Chain A
Protein backbone atom coordinates (compact mmCIF):
# COMPACT_ATOMS: atom_id res chain seq x y z
CA UNK A 1 0.00 0.00 0.00
CA UNK A 2 2.78 2.39 0.83
CA UNK A 3 5.92 2.90 -1.17
CA UNK A 4 9.63 2.60 -0.77
CA UNK A 5 9.90 6.08 0.71
CA UNK A 6 8.83 4.58 4.02
CA UNK A 7 11.73 2.18 4.18
CA UNK A 8 14.32 4.88 4.73
CA UNK A 9 15.78 4.61 8.22
CA UNK A 10 14.52 7.41 10.45
CA UNK A 11 17.19 9.93 11.35
CA UNK A 12 17.02 13.36 12.93
CA UNK A 13 17.49 16.12 10.36
CA UNK A 14 17.78 19.85 10.81
CA UNK A 15 14.89 21.82 9.35
CA UNK A 16 15.22 25.54 8.77
CA UNK A 17 12.27 27.81 9.48
CA UNK A 18 11.16 29.50 6.24
CA UNK A 19 7.90 31.03 7.49
CA UNK A 20 6.27 31.41 10.90
CA UNK A 21 2.75 32.82 10.80
CA UNK A 22 0.00 33.13 13.35
CA UNK A 23 -3.10 31.52 11.84
CA UNK A 24 -5.49 32.01 14.74
CA UNK A 25 -5.23 33.23 18.38
CA UNK A 26 -3.93 29.77 19.34
CA UNK A 27 -2.43 28.20 16.22
CA UNK A 28 0.65 28.95 14.15
CA UNK A 29 1.65 27.63 10.73
CA UNK A 30 5.39 26.97 10.59
CA UNK A 31 7.09 26.16 7.26
CA UNK A 32 10.40 24.31 7.09
CA UNK A 33 13.01 23.63 4.46
CA UNK A 34 14.17 20.12 5.34
CA UNK A 35 15.37 17.09 3.44
CA UNK A 36 13.18 14.26 4.69
CA UNK A 37 12.44 12.90 1.23
CA UNK A 38 8.93 12.48 -0.19
CA UNK A 39 6.00 12.33 2.19
CA UNK A 40 2.41 11.18 1.86
CA UNK A 41 -0.64 13.27 2.80
CA UNK A 42 -1.55 12.39 6.38
CA UNK A 43 1.93 11.42 7.55
CA UNK A 44 3.58 13.19 10.47
CA UNK A 45 7.00 14.15 11.76
CA UNK A 46 8.54 13.98 15.21
CA UNK A 47 9.97 17.24 16.57
CA UNK A 48 12.73 17.11 19.19
CA UNK A 49 13.87 19.90 21.48
CA UNK A 50 17.07 19.63 23.52
CA UNK A 51 17.68 21.83 26.57
CA UNK A 52 21.18 23.11 27.42
CA UNK A 53 21.40 20.45 30.17
CA UNK A 54 20.68 17.69 27.65
CA UNK A 55 17.03 17.14 28.61
CA UNK A 56 14.99 16.26 25.51
CA UNK A 57 11.30 16.54 24.72
CA UNK A 58 9.69 15.05 21.63
CA UNK A 59 6.27 15.49 20.01
CA UNK A 60 4.47 14.32 16.86
CA UNK A 61 2.94 16.82 14.43
CA UNK A 62 0.98 16.07 11.27
CA UNK A 63 2.38 17.51 8.06
CA UNK A 64 -0.05 20.21 6.87
CA UNK A 65 1.36 20.82 3.39
CA UNK A 66 0.84 18.61 0.32
CA UNK A 67 3.56 16.24 -0.92
CA UNK A 68 3.79 18.58 -3.92
CA UNK A 69 4.53 21.64 -1.76
CA UNK A 70 7.95 23.28 -1.54
CA UNK A 71 7.96 23.47 2.24
CA UNK A 72 7.05 21.04 4.99
CA UNK A 73 4.45 22.87 7.07
CA UNK A 74 3.18 22.14 10.56
CA UNK A 75 0.18 23.64 12.33
CA UNK A 76 1.10 24.04 15.98
CA UNK A 77 -1.55 24.78 18.58
CA UNK A 78 -0.14 26.59 21.62
CA UNK A 79 -0.92 24.60 24.76
CA UNK A 80 -0.62 26.82 27.84
CA UNK A 81 0.96 24.10 29.97
CA UNK A 82 2.84 22.58 27.04
CA UNK A 83 6.49 21.63 27.13
CA UNK A 84 7.11 21.93 23.39
CA UNK A 85 4.40 24.01 21.69
CA UNK A 86 5.06 27.37 23.47
CA UNK A 87 8.67 27.17 22.30
CA UNK A 88 7.59 26.50 18.71
CA UNK A 89 4.99 29.29 18.68
CA UNK A 90 6.72 31.97 20.80
CA UNK A 91 10.46 31.48 20.50
CA UNK A 92 11.13 30.09 17.03
CA UNK A 93 12.28 32.64 14.44
CA UNK A 94 12.86 32.62 10.68
CA UNK A 95 16.12 30.80 9.82
CA UNK A 96 16.20 28.99 13.18
CA UNK A 97 16.92 25.28 12.92
CA UNK A 98 14.96 22.51 14.56
CA UNK A 99 15.40 18.73 14.76
CA UNK A 100 12.79 16.78 12.77
CA UNK A 101 12.47 13.16 11.73
CA UNK A 102 10.05 11.50 9.35
CA UNK A 103 7.94 11.15 7.39
CA UNK A 104 6.20 8.70 9.74
CA UNK A 105 3.06 6.58 9.40
CA UNK A 106 1.25 4.61 6.71
CA UNK A 107 -2.20 4.09 8.22
CA UNK A 108 -3.65 7.59 8.34
CA UNK A 109 -2.71 8.36 4.75
CA UNK A 110 -4.65 9.45 1.68
CA UNK A 111 -3.16 9.20 -1.81
CA UNK A 112 -4.62 10.46 -5.10
CA UNK A 113 -4.59 6.84 -6.33
CA UNK A 114 -7.47 6.19 -3.91
CA UNK A 115 -10.49 6.89 -6.09
CA UNK A 116 -13.43 6.30 -3.74
CA UNK A 117 -15.40 8.90 -1.80
CA UNK A 118 -13.39 10.27 1.10
CA UNK A 119 -14.82 11.91 4.18
CA UNK A 120 -12.55 14.04 6.37
CA UNK A 121 -13.74 14.96 9.88
CA UNK A 122 -11.60 17.32 11.99
CA UNK A 123 -11.79 18.71 15.49
CA UNK A 124 -9.68 21.81 16.16
CA UNK A 125 -6.03 21.48 15.14
CA UNK A 126 -6.88 17.96 13.94
CA UNK A 127 -7.42 19.81 10.65
CA UNK A 128 -3.67 19.72 9.94
CA UNK A 129 -3.36 16.39 8.04
CA UNK A 130 -6.49 17.25 6.05
CA UNK A 131 -4.90 20.46 4.76
CA UNK A 132 -2.24 18.19 3.23
CA UNK A 133 -4.84 15.77 1.83
CA UNK A 134 -6.99 18.56 0.34
CA UNK A 135 -3.99 20.26 -1.27
CA UNK A 136 -2.77 16.89 -2.57
CA UNK A 137 -6.24 16.19 -4.01
CA UNK A 138 -6.04 19.48 -5.91
CA UNK A 139 -2.40 19.19 -7.00
CA UNK A 140 -2.92 15.66 -8.32
CA UNK A 141 -6.15 16.59 -10.11
CA UNK A 142 -8.00 13.82 -8.29
CA UNK A 143 -11.61 13.03 -9.21
CA UNK A 144 -12.27 11.30 -5.88
CA UNK A 145 -15.31 12.87 -4.20
CA UNK A 146 -14.02 14.49 -1.01
CA UNK A 147 -15.81 16.24 1.83
CA UNK A 148 -14.63 17.91 5.02
CA UNK A 149 -16.58 18.43 8.24
CA UNK A 150 -14.56 20.66 10.59
CA UNK A 151 -15.52 21.44 14.17
CA UNK A 152 -14.00 24.60 15.68
CA UNK A 153 -14.74 26.27 19.00
CA UNK A 154 -15.09 29.78 17.58
CA UNK A 155 -14.90 31.52 14.21
CA UNK A 156 -11.59 33.15 15.20
CA UNK A 157 -10.10 29.69 15.78
CA UNK A 158 -10.89 28.40 12.28
CA UNK A 159 -7.53 27.42 10.80
CA UNK A 160 -6.72 28.08 7.13
CA UNK A 161 -10.12 29.68 6.49
CA UNK A 162 -9.04 31.15 3.14
CA UNK A 163 -7.54 27.89 1.90
CA UNK A 164 -10.70 26.02 2.88
CA UNK A 165 -12.78 28.58 0.96
CA UNK A 166 -10.61 27.87 -2.12
CA UNK A 167 -11.28 24.16 -1.79
CA UNK A 168 -15.01 24.83 -1.39
CA UNK A 169 -14.92 26.97 -4.55
CA UNK A 170 -13.46 24.06 -6.55
CA UNK A 171 -16.23 21.70 -5.47
CA UNK A 172 -15.03 20.11 -2.25
CA UNK A 173 -17.80 19.90 0.33
CA UNK A 174 -16.50 22.01 3.22
CA UNK A 175 -18.74 22.27 6.28
CA UNK A 176 -17.57 24.15 9.37
CA UNK A 177 -19.42 24.00 12.68
CA UNK A 178 -18.77 26.30 15.64
CA UNK A 179 -19.25 24.79 19.08
CA UNK A 180 -18.81 27.80 21.37
CA UNK A 181 -20.28 30.80 19.60
CA UNK A 182 -22.17 31.81 16.51
CA UNK A 183 -21.59 35.44 15.71
CA UNK A 184 -23.85 37.50 13.51
CA UNK A 185 -23.06 36.86 9.89
CA UNK A 186 -21.95 33.25 10.43
CA UNK A 187 -23.69 31.18 7.78
CA UNK A 188 -22.05 27.87 8.66
CA UNK A 189 -23.22 25.28 11.14
CA UNK A 190 -23.46 25.59 14.91
CA UNK A 191 -23.05 23.02 17.66
CA UNK A 192 -21.11 19.85 18.35
CA UNK A 193 -20.91 17.07 15.78
CA UNK A 194 -23.78 14.65 16.43
CA UNK A 195 -25.73 12.03 14.50
CA UNK A 196 -28.07 14.42 12.67
CA UNK A 197 -25.14 16.65 11.66
CA UNK A 198 -23.22 13.66 10.27
CA UNK A 199 -26.34 12.53 8.38
CA UNK A 200 -26.76 16.02 6.90
CA UNK A 201 -23.16 16.80 5.95
CA UNK A 202 -21.22 13.59 5.28
CA UNK A 203 -21.29 10.71 2.82
CA UNK A 204 -23.89 8.07 3.71
CA UNK A 205 -22.94 4.51 4.61
CA UNK A 206 -24.39 3.40 1.26
CA UNK A 207 -21.74 5.45 -0.55
CA UNK A 208 -19.04 3.45 1.29
CA UNK A 209 -16.67 6.34 1.93
CA UNK A 210 -13.25 6.00 3.50
CA UNK A 211 -13.51 8.14 6.65
CA UNK A 212 -10.62 9.92 8.36
CA UNK A 213 -11.21 11.41 11.81
CA UNK A 214 -8.56 13.55 13.53
CA UNK A 215 -8.70 15.72 16.63
CA UNK A 216 -8.87 15.55 20.41
CA UNK A 217 -9.27 12.03 21.79
CA UNK A 218 -12.84 12.53 23.06
CA UNK A 219 -13.93 14.08 19.73
CA UNK A 220 -12.39 11.29 17.64
CA UNK A 221 -13.91 8.51 19.71
CA UNK A 222 -17.36 10.13 19.73
CA UNK A 223 -17.35 10.68 15.95
CA UNK A 224 -16.08 7.16 15.20
CA UNK A 225 -18.84 5.73 17.41
CA UNK A 226 -21.48 7.83 15.62
CA UNK A 227 -20.15 6.77 12.21
CA UNK A 228 -20.41 3.09 13.15
CA UNK A 229 -23.96 3.73 14.39
CA UNK A 230 -24.75 5.25 10.95
CA UNK A 231 -23.77 1.94 9.38
CA UNK A 232 -20.22 2.67 8.26
CA UNK A 233 -17.90 -0.34 8.43
CA UNK A 234 -15.34 0.03 11.25
CA UNK A 235 -12.51 -0.89 8.87
CA UNK A 236 -13.41 2.12 6.69
CA UNK A 237 -12.90 4.53 9.61
CA UNK A 238 -9.33 5.68 10.27
CA UNK A 239 -8.64 7.64 13.41
CA UNK A 240 -5.83 9.78 14.79
CA UNK A 241 -6.01 11.16 18.34
CA UNK A 242 -4.27 14.36 19.38
CA UNK A 243 -4.99 13.96 23.11
CA UNK A 244 -6.69 16.66 25.16
Chain B
Protein backbone atom coordinates (compact mmCIF):
# COMPACT_ATOMS: atom_id res chain seq x y z
CA UNK B 1 0.00 0.00 0.00
CA UNK B 2 1.41 3.38 -0.92
CA UNK B 3 1.99 6.11 1.63
CA UNK B 4 -0.78 8.39 0.41
CA UNK B 5 -3.37 5.62 0.54
CA UNK B 6 -2.44 4.74 4.13
CA UNK B 7 -3.31 8.26 5.17
CA UNK B 8 -6.49 8.66 3.15
CA UNK B 9 -9.57 8.45 5.35
CA UNK B 10 -13.16 9.64 4.89
CA UNK B 11 -15.42 12.25 6.44
CA UNK B 12 -16.25 10.01 9.39
CA UNK B 13 -12.73 10.70 10.65
CA UNK B 14 -13.29 14.47 10.64
CA UNK B 15 -16.77 14.32 12.17
CA UNK B 16 -15.74 15.22 15.73
CA UNK B 17 -13.63 18.20 14.69
CA UNK B 18 -16.37 19.50 12.39
CA UNK B 19 -19.15 19.00 14.93
CA UNK B 20 -17.01 20.88 17.45
CA UNK B 21 -17.22 23.92 15.14
CA UNK B 22 -20.72 23.60 13.67
CA UNK B 23 -22.47 22.08 16.72
CA UNK B 24 -24.53 19.72 14.57
CA UNK B 25 -23.99 16.15 13.39
CA UNK B 26 -21.85 16.62 10.28
CA UNK B 27 -21.44 13.24 8.54
CA UNK B 28 -24.94 13.48 7.02
CA UNK B 29 -24.50 17.11 5.87
CA UNK B 30 -24.42 17.40 2.06
CA UNK B 31 -21.47 19.39 0.73
CA UNK B 32 -21.16 20.71 -2.82
CA UNK B 33 -17.65 21.06 -4.21
CA UNK B 34 -17.01 24.54 -5.57
CA UNK B 35 -14.57 23.09 -8.09
CA UNK B 36 -16.71 20.57 -9.96
CA UNK B 37 -20.19 20.89 -8.43
CA UNK B 38 -20.29 17.33 -7.08
CA UNK B 39 -22.54 16.91 -4.03
CA UNK B 40 -21.85 14.21 -1.43
CA UNK B 41 -22.49 13.70 2.25
CA UNK B 42 -19.51 14.66 4.40
CA UNK B 43 -18.98 10.99 5.39
CA UNK B 44 -18.14 10.25 1.75
CA UNK B 45 -15.63 13.06 1.30
CA UNK B 46 -11.91 12.24 1.32
CA UNK B 47 -10.05 13.25 4.47
CA UNK B 48 -6.36 13.58 5.27
CA UNK B 49 -6.38 13.98 9.04
CA UNK B 50 -2.66 13.93 9.70
CA UNK B 51 -1.69 16.87 7.57
CA UNK B 52 -0.96 19.93 9.74
CA UNK B 53 -4.67 20.21 10.31
CA UNK B 54 -7.50 18.35 8.61
CA UNK B 55 -7.94 18.53 4.84
CA UNK B 56 -11.28 17.46 3.34
CA UNK B 57 -11.33 16.84 -0.42
CA UNK B 58 -13.96 16.18 -3.09
CA UNK B 59 -14.30 12.44 -3.87
CA UNK B 60 -14.82 13.28 -7.54
CA UNK B 61 -12.23 15.95 -8.47
CA UNK B 62 -10.00 15.94 -5.35
CA UNK B 63 -10.29 19.71 -4.87
CA UNK B 64 -10.02 20.92 -1.29
CA UNK B 65 -13.54 21.47 0.10
CA UNK B 66 -12.80 22.20 3.76
CA UNK B 67 -9.59 22.90 5.65
CA UNK B 68 -9.53 22.95 9.43
CA UNK B 69 -6.60 23.64 11.72
CA UNK B 70 -6.44 23.74 15.48
CA UNK B 71 -3.80 25.96 17.06
CA UNK B 72 -3.48 26.83 20.75
CA UNK B 73 -6.48 28.97 21.64
CA UNK B 74 -8.40 28.74 18.38
CA UNK B 75 -9.64 26.74 15.42
CA UNK B 76 -9.22 27.98 11.83
CA UNK B 77 -11.66 26.84 9.18
CA UNK B 78 -11.46 27.55 5.43
CA UNK B 79 -14.64 26.85 3.45
CA UNK B 80 -13.67 28.42 0.11
CA UNK B 81 -13.94 25.03 -1.60
CA UNK B 82 -17.48 24.38 -0.36
CA UNK B 83 -20.12 26.03 -2.56
CA UNK B 84 -22.84 25.01 -0.09
CA UNK B 85 -23.35 22.91 3.02
CA UNK B 86 -26.88 21.51 3.29
CA UNK B 87 -27.63 20.73 6.92
CA UNK B 88 -30.67 18.49 7.58
CA UNK B 89 -33.32 20.00 9.86
CA UNK B 90 -33.61 17.96 13.02
Contacts and interface: CB of A to CB of B under 8 A. Distances in A.
Chain A interface residue count: which class? 20 to 34
A244 B43 contact: no
Contacts of A10: 16, 19-20, 23
A241 B16 contact: no
A46 B6 contact: no
A9 B65 CA distance: 24
A192 B44 CA distance: 24
A243 B7 contact: yes
Interface of B: 1, 5-13, 15-17, 19-20, 23-25, 27-28, 41-44, 72, 88, 90
28 contacts: A1-B88, A4-B90, A6-B25, A7-B25, A10-B16, A10-B19, A10-B20, A44-B12, A45-B16, A54-B72, A60-B13, A60-B16, A101-B20, A104-B16, A104-B27, A105-B27, A106-B28, A107-B28, A108-B12, A216-B1, A217-B6, A238-B43, A239-B44, A240-B43, A241-B9, A243-B6, A243-B7, A243-B8
Secondary structure type dominating chain A contacts? mixed
Interface of A: 1-2, 4, 6-7, 9-10, 44-46, 54, 58, 60, 101-102, 104-108, 216-218, 238-244
Contacts of A102: 16
B90 A218 contact: no
A217 B9 contact: yes
Nearest to A237: B44
